Structure 1
Amino acid sequence: MTGSSTGRSTGPTTGPLVEVRGLRKAFDGTPVLEGVSFEATEGTVTAVLGPSGSGKSTLLRSLNVLEVPDAGTVRLADDEIDFGTFAGLGRAQQKRQLAALRGHSGMVFQSHHLFPHRTVLQNLVEGPVQVQHRPLAEAEADAHRLLDQVGLADRAAAYPSQLSGGQQQRVGIARALALHPDVVLLDEPTSALDPELVGEVLGVVRDLAAQGRTMVIVTHEVRFARDVADQVLFLDGGVIAEQGGAEVLTDPQHERTRQFLSRVLQAG
């Protein structure tokens, strides 16, 4: 990405903006990711679907290195980590590599994880000021712009407890955007919401997609994914069982995908 308002990179990126190769992760000896590989180009939306326990959230958290994979490589923009050799690096070098990779992404969690004792505005400026060392006035001006973008311009002085669940999640999205990330990572952003609040959050994500934001979204909202995704990954048992465009959701080729979609659509 080249220094636009939708990202933080200052130089050209060669190839796809997101590149994952042979990603592996196990917990207590149980494999969760078994050789996952995919790419995502700038300005595209990648939707990740699959049954519970298929490795979706672990994959997303690996892109943000909240989980450190056991093997494989992750490249975001112009920074890459080879996790096959990562364990052999010194602690200082590991911290530098993790910070560099994490600096390219903004994370939106299943639950908003806002600081309850801080106002909405204070939640938004925390990362830009404390992590990116941006001037407070600049960060506050940016935060007000983002709150307007997600429809919460009048809630800057409110505390999280004074907001609905949908409003809190929209603040979480604005907080991720405040870091000027190259790629926005959303982990089931509507899963903790009451059904009547889901639409307001999905509306914000739709707007971001229309603006050309690069996003990787773990979601169970099949119809939403069909509408906004340029690429769909269906994970099952720690591997990508099916990959493609929206046709993965409208005309899946694998029986396992068909079974999953039938179950989810009937439940929804």
Structure 2
Amino acid sequence: MSELVRVERLKKSFGEHTVLQDVSFAVPEGSVTVILGPSGSGKTTLLRSLNGLELPDAGTVRVSDATVDFADVHPGRRGRLPRPQRQTVDRLTAQSGMVFQAHNLFPHRTAIENVIEGPVVVQRIPREEARSQGVELLAKVGLAEHADKFPYQLSGGQQQRVGIARALALKPKLVLFDEPTSALDPELVGEVLRVIRDLATEGWTMVIVTHEVKFAAQVADQVLFIDGGVVVEHGTPGEVISHPQNARTQDFLRRILEPI
């Protein structure tokens, strides 16, 4: 299996607070990588670094044929990047689609309008062609009959599934999920996880930040446990979840899996 993503020695600090410390790992094409860890451990910062939404202080990220050495990326006045650096980061961003915690749909646009926004505006695909593809994606996530509804007319789980369809609409090589079920009521979590499980079966390359440990054990090819900005443990679900070796991993899993 060929390598789609490689992360080398990623570092990020906010002021005096170090969020990522020398993080390295690879993601094979067609695989699912799950990132686990306590709140504030650096999981989301790491995920956002994979598509340039966050700019690390140092380290390299490669996704397909787009590579950024963040040691060479230096925001100027007002936090803006010089044009050549912005273009380099944009090439990285274009490789992936992002599914956020709170779906971030445009409230004044219908489900289908949310899905086709990227293809029409960013990729300049004709609107009718984009709509046809968008309806197919909504069908994939079980929402074809809701294409013309606004977000307020949909449940939280349905809105998140629209968010997944929107991420897939750009035909990314990598799909990133930032705790996609954390904002949902418990009874709605399953419908979103089923869609992600189906995408894994279809061979999409995904990196998922989640607290759904049992789901991770079922769907992941590899698991990273992060704490304090460091990859504490890295391996298969059987190694990291079923038989963790590190005391911090053991304690985290014990706390998150113990019955209430």
1:152 Cα deviation (Å)? 0.2
**Could you tell me whether the CA contact under 8 Å between 2:2 and 2:29 is conserved in 1?**
no
> Partners in 2 of 1:18 and 1:242 — Cα distance?
19
**Residue equivalent to 2:56:** 69
> Partners in 1 of 2:166 and 2:230 — Cα distance?
31
The equivalent position to 1:254 in structure 2, one of 231, 242, 246, is: 246
**Could you tell me whether the CA contact under 8 Å between 2:75 and 2:82 is conserved in 1?**
no
Q: What is the TM-score when the length of structure 2 is the normalising length?
A: 0.96
Matched pairs, number: 255
Change (3 A) 1:88 1:154: closer
> Partners in 2 of 1:144 and 1:217 — Cα distance?
25
> Partners in 1 of 2:145 and 2:75 — Cα distance?
50
1:173 Cα deviation (Å)? 0.3
Please state whether the residue corresponding to 2:3 is helix, strand or coil: coil
Cα RMSD (Å) of the superposition? 1.4
Q: Which runs of 5+ in 2 are unaligned?
A: none
Deviation sequence 1:42-96 (CA, Å, 0-9, x none): 1000000001111000000111111101000000000100011222897110111
Q: What is the TM-score when the length of structure 1 is the normalising length?
A: 0.93
Q: Structure 2 counterpart of 1:129, which letter? A: V
**Residue equivalent to 2:65:** 78
Q: How does 1:1-268 map to 2 (within 5 A)?
A: 16-87=3-74, 91-247=82-238, 248-266=240-258
1:133 Cα deviation (Å)? 1.1
Deviation sequence 1:9-59 (CA, Å, 0-9, x none): xxxxx9510100000011122100001000001100000000111100000
Please state whether the residue corresponding to 2:56 is helix, strand or coil: coil
Percent identity of the aligned residues?
59
Stretches (4+) displaced over 3 A: none
Q: Which runs of 5+ in 1 are unaligned?
A: 1-13
Please state whether the residue corresponding to 1:181 is helix, strand or coil: coil
Please state whether the residue corresponding to 2:59 is helix, strand or coil: strand
Please state whether the residue corresponding to 1:133 is helix, strand or coil: coil
> Partners in 2 of 1:267 and 1:97 — Cα distance?
47
1:100 Cα deviation (Å)? 0.5
Q: Structure 2 counterpart of 1:243, which letter? A: H
> Partners in 2 of 1:209 and 1:232 — Cα distance?
15
1:137 Cα deviation (Å)? 1.4
